[in-house]
C-alpha cells in the first residue's frame, strides 16, 4: 500500500466524522471492502479521504488514490476551496459547523492577503507571473457554506464579541452537532 502524506491543516479543515459516522464507515469497509470515491491527493497530501485512509491502513485494505491537479500556481487556498465544494456538499453538517469551516477559510485567505500586502489586487497575475487571488466576500462565503448572509453576520458578531458565554453556546453547537 502506498504511504500518503497528511497535512494537519488540511486534515483538520473539515470537521471530523462523528463517532457514529466513523463506526459506520469502519463497519462498511470491513463488510464490503473499499467501495466508492478514491482517496484524493494534491502533491502527495490527502485532501479527501483521511478517515478512509486511516481505516484502510488499520485493516490493511487496498484503496484507490487519485491526484487532483489544480495547476502550476495552485495554493492551499485553491485546495481548501475544492475541499469545501466537494466535502460540504456530501456531508450533512449543521450551519454552525459549515460556518466554522468558512471562518477557517476566511482566515487563511486573510493570511495570504497579508503576505501579499502592497501588491496590486486589480490584476489576475503579478509582474513576476504569480497568480493573484481575489478575497472572498462574506456573501460568497455564505453561498459556499450553504447558509444565508444573515447567518454569517450573526456568526461573525458572536465570534468577534467579548461575550464568552455566547461563544461557548455557539461552540457547543459546533461540538455537539
User: For the chain, what percent of residues have pLDDT higher than 70?
Assistant: 78
Q: HSE (CB half, 13 Å, CA atoms) of 114?
A: 5
Residues 98 and 177 in one domain: yes
Query: Which tens digit of pLDDT belongs to each residue from 122-136?
Result: 544 444 444 544 556
What is the maximum span of the chain, computed from C-alpha positions, in angstroms?
56
Region 79-87 average pLDDT: 87
- Give, for 76, the enclosing helix (H) or strand (E): helix 76-90
Question: pTM of whole model > 0.75?
Answer: no
The answer to whether residue 62 sits within a structural domain is yes
Within the chain, strands assigned E span: 39-42, 45-48, 65-67
Query: Which tens digit of pLDDT belongs to each residue from 92-118?
Result: 777 777 788 888 888 887 787 777 666
The answer to whether residue 174 sits within a structural domain is yes
Q: What torsion, rounded to 10 degrees, do the Cα atoms 35, 77, 91, 9 define?
A: 80
The answer to whether residue 50 sits within a structural domain is yes
The answer to whether residue 89 sits within a structural domain is no
Counting the structural domains of the chain, the total is: 2
Find the domain containing 105 and state its range. Answer: 94-177
Region 53-67 average pLDDT: 96
Region 10-19 average pLDDT: 90
Residues 105 and 38 in one domain: no
Residues 52 and 108 in one domain: no
Amino acid at each position: 500500500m502506498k504511504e500518503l502524506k497528511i497535512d494537519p491543516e488540511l486534515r483538520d479543515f473539515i470537521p471530523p466524522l462523528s463517532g457514529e459516522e466513523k463506526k459506520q464507515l469502519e463497519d462498511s469497509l470491513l463488510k464490503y471492502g473499499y467501495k466508492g470515491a478514491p482517496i484524493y491527493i494534491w502533491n502527495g497530501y490527502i485532501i479527501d479521504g483521511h478517515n478512509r485512509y486511516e481505516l484502510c491502513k488499520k485493516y490493511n485494505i487496498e484503496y484507490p488514490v487519485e491526484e487532483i491537479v489544480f495547476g502550476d500556481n495552485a495554493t492551499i487556498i485553491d485546495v481548501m476551496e475544492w475541499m469545501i465544494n466537494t466535502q460540504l456538499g456530501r456531508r450533512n453538517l449543521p450551519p454552525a459547523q459549515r460556518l466554522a469551516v468558512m471562518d477557517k477559510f476566511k482566515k487563511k485567505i486573510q493570511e495570504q492577503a497579508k503576505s501579499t500586502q502592497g501588491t496590486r489586487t486589480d490584476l489576475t497575475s503579478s509582474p513576476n507571473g504569480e497568480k493573484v487571488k481575489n478575497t472572498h466576500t462574506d456573501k460568497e462565503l455564505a453561498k459556499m457554506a450553504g447558509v444565508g448572509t444573515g447567518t454569517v453576520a450573526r456568526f461573525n458578531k458572536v465570534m468577534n464579541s467579548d461575550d464568552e458565554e455566547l461563544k461557548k453556546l455557539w461552540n457547543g453547537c459546533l461540538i455537539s452537532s
